[in-house]
Amino acid sequence: MKNTDMEQNIKEVLVDEETIARTVKELGKQITEDYKGKELIVVGILKGAIMFLSDLVREVKIPLILDFMSVSSYGDSTQTSGAVRFLKDLEVSIEGKHVLIVEDIVDTGLTFNYLLDNLRSRKPASLKTCTFLDKPSRRKADVQVDYKGLEVPDEFVVGYGLDFAEEYRNLPYIAVLKPEVYENK
């Protein structure tokens, strides 16, 4: 797919690059203040959080350990299947450590809730959450999000790591995808 084709499939840009940078900087500053003097493990949820995570950890001005997990409940669909699969687990132990989970978007919260329950069972000293985008209008599970970037409406959004069928992650902004692009898939 050509870059011009991607942009033709965009209904509207919701969050521009400057707003993304400002939001990430503010979150990084708050996380730095909150975790001063603590050993922090930052866990990025692949693949969607990779853009946000890489920008965020550069704004966190304390030592940290970085690890990744990959879970799936969507496949190529726009709706969660409800069945969560772990595709990649942590490489470091989080027992007794301060853990910050970094996610691209919290939507229904079902997958996120399952992930948090799993991580709590590993006995971290603390477990907090950070998401770049929050879509509370779709929430089905009561999940606590400690650090929120921006709230978005109930639209199918792509860009800055968020995808549709593995495409659009490389857009430098958050955009609404035209419905005709995903309704026929």
Would you say residue 167 lies in a domain? Answer: no
pLDDT digits (tens, 9 = 90+) for 74-106: 555 555 555 778 899 999 999 999 999 999 999
Measured distance CA(67)–CA(89) in Å, rounded:
9
Mean pLDDT of the chain: 91
Q: How far is the C-alpha of 164 from the C-alpha of 159, rounded, in Å?
A: 9
Residue 6 lies in a domain: no
The Cα–Cα gap between 71 and 87 comes to 5
State the pLDDT at residue 48. 93
Under a CB-based contact definition with an 8 Å cutoff, are residues 143 and 125 in contact? no
Q: Quick check: is 138 in a domain?
A: yes
The answer to whether residue 8 sits within a structural domain is no
Which residues are marked as active site?
107
Give pLDDT tens digits for 99-158: 999 999 999 898 899 999 999 999 999 999 999 999 999 899 999 899 999 999 999 999
pLDDT score, position 1: 41
pLDDT at site 86:
87
In a domain, 30, yes or no: yes
Q: Flag whether 100 is in a domain.
A: yes
What's the confidence (pLDDT) of residue 2?
43
- To the nearest whole percent, how much of the chain has pLDDT over 70? 92
Q: What is the CATH number of the domain that holds 68?
A: 3.40.50.2020
Tally the domains of the chain: 1
How high is the pLDDT of residue 80? 53
Enclosing domain of residue 109? 17-154
Report the pLDDT value the prediction gives residue 16, as an integer from 0 to 100: 98
pLDDT band for position 5 (50/70/90)? confident
Alpha helices in the chain (DSSP H): 3-8, 17-34, 50-59, 110-120, 179-182
Is residue 168 in some structural domain? Answer: no
User: Per the domain annotation, does 166 fall within a domain?
Assistant: no
